[in-house]
Structure 1
Amino acid sequence: MEVQWFGVEPLKLGPPHSAVGITLSLLLGLWSTQALEMSVGKINYLEAVNGSTVMLPCTYASCIGIRDLYFRWQFNNNGSHQMVCESVIQSEDAVPDVSIYRERVQFVGKNVRNNVSILLWNITFEDGGEYICFGRNPKEKNRNHSASFNLIVVDELRVVDNTLTIIIASAVGGAIALIMGFMLLKNFTLFVMSKLEEKNKECLVTSSGIDNTENGLSGSKADSKATPKKK
């Protein structure tokens, strides 16, 4: 179909199904922004010493809320996913009853602030690897999402050498101090030069006044004698 006005190019309107497609795209985009999201934080790895206790963080978020949210932790053992724990959270305020399938594991999230984190006690080198936090929300037509966290178990933590950082910081600080000192010296020099210039002007004015007085010019303070009258 075309719509035409005088002096205007004809406007072509697409078929009705194109508008339906645009509407569906917008709805799908809106739906994707409301989808369930599992997060392990901005830093998704941790380096810990053998024998220590560590927490594996995970939280969930949903714009439309949850109902019977299913979540689980799994350990990726060379491609074979082993169950760590799982549970169902009935609502935002409910504390889940978590089933734990691995030794030295404790659920510490308690669903406070959408938290489903776990604690690993007395970790060993065998505990190192990828842990996956998975969630599925029936309220969003079973939309699901997962996030992974890597645990690195070491004998001892590495000491970070900050020598280069200290050298760079000292160099930058020294450069800034040098620039500030130069600016102060420049301002002081300009101040002294302005004072000397003012003094030179005063000397020139004074010298000019003295020269005028000695030469008997107008404005001088010399006494002028009147010419005697002839009898």
Structure 2
Amino acid sequence: MASLDNTSWSVPGLLVGLLLALNSGVLEVHGLEVSTGKVSSTDAMNGSTVLIPCTYSSCIGIHKLYFSWHFNDNGTMTKLCDGVVPSEGVEPKVKVERSRVEFVGSSKGHNISILLWNITFEDGGEYTCFARNPKEKYRNHSATFTLRVVDKMIEVDNTLTVVIVSVLGGVIGLVIIVMVIKALVVQFLLKDDEKNKECLVNASGNDNTENGLTGAKAESKGTPKA
């Protein structure tokens, strides 16, 4: 018998409880997820071709994974394409429901992305990527990608940024030049000061010699005896 929080549990009882928890989904294991990337929207020019990305992942694995793409057409969900990935590494069988739509995914990269050809303003809106995995008791997940169709791409004016960076660079360069000049001047002054000190020492030695004050005291001669 094992004791836990003053309650007696048997080892078989713990195992049964754990299995029941797993079976009922109390202990959740991260399973199927789909994603349209870190940036879930894009701007594209009218008449261009655009990629609508989507990938799936599952730590449990997949079997007959079903996926589909839908477009929110003013509140009506219109199917663009759908397909089934039989198993890991096996390419899916895809059925395209709408013109100008091309499936470009691959099971090797867990990729179920699509291309939209020659887009128009009517193609702007939300695109939903959906997947369902029978291996996980038909767990399903979806993600949405937003497409904005424009007549021209807006160019960002970086002139002000360039000017600010140039000014800052010039100021930093000037500060460095001033610091270098200051260091050279200080070094020059120190050397000049040392030369002046050396000159003073030499001059002082010369003056003492001329005055008869050598480093060694002169011997005083005694008065000759009579």
Residue of 180, 188, 192 corresponding to 1:192: 188
Amino acid in structure 2 at the alignment position of 1:199: K
Give the 3-state SS of the residue equivalent to 2:63 in structure 1: coil
Aligned to 1:64: 60
Aligned position for 1:108: 104
Which of 139, 158, 163 is 2:159 aligned to?
163
Task: Find 1:40's aligned residue among 36, 48, 62.
Answer: 36
Aligned equivalent of 1:13 = 5
Counterpart of 1:112 in structure 2: which amino acid? K
State yes or no: 1:81 paired with 2:77: yes
Match of residue 130 from structure 2: 134
Q: 176, 179, 194: which one pairs with 1:180?
A: 176
SS of 1:81 mapped into structure 2: strand
Q: d(CA) in 2 for partners of 1:164 and 1:29?
A: 55
1:7 aligned residue: none
SS in 1 for 2:109: helix
Per the alignment, in what secondary structure is the counterpart of residue 184 of structure 1? helix
Cα offset for 1:13?
2.7
SS in 2 for 1:160: coil
Partner residue in 1 for 2:94? 98
Pick the aligned partner of 2:48 from 45, 52, 61. Answer: 52
Residues 67/16 of structure 1: CA separation in 2 closer, same or farther (3 Å cut):
farther
Shift of 1:95: 0.7
Q: Offset of 1:104 from its aligned partner?
A: 0.6
Q: Flag the 1:28–1:170 CA change in 2: closer, same or farther, 3 A.
A: farther
Structure 1 alignment gaps of length 5 or more: 4-11
Tell me how far apart the structure 2 counterparts of residues 42 and 196 of structure 1 sit (CA, whole Å). 65
Compute the TM-score of the two structures, normalised by the length of structure 1: 0.80
Deviations 1:31-55 (A, max 9, x none): 1xx3222122222212111111111
> Once the 2 structures are TM-superposed, how far is the Cα of residue 140 of structure 1 from its aligned partner?
2.5
Identity of aligned residues (%): 51
1:206-217 aligned at under 5 Å gives the runs 206-217=202-213
Q: Over aligned residues, Cα RMSD in angstroms? A: 3.0
| Residue deviations 1:117-138 (CA, integer Å, cap 9, x gap) | 1011111111111111111222
Supply the AA of the counterpart residue of 2:66.
Y
The amino acid of 1:89's aligned partner reads V
Structure 1 or 2: more strand by fraction? 2
- Give the secondary structure class of the aligned counterpart of 1:68: strand
Aligned equivalents of 2:171 and 2:128: distance in 1?
Answer: 48
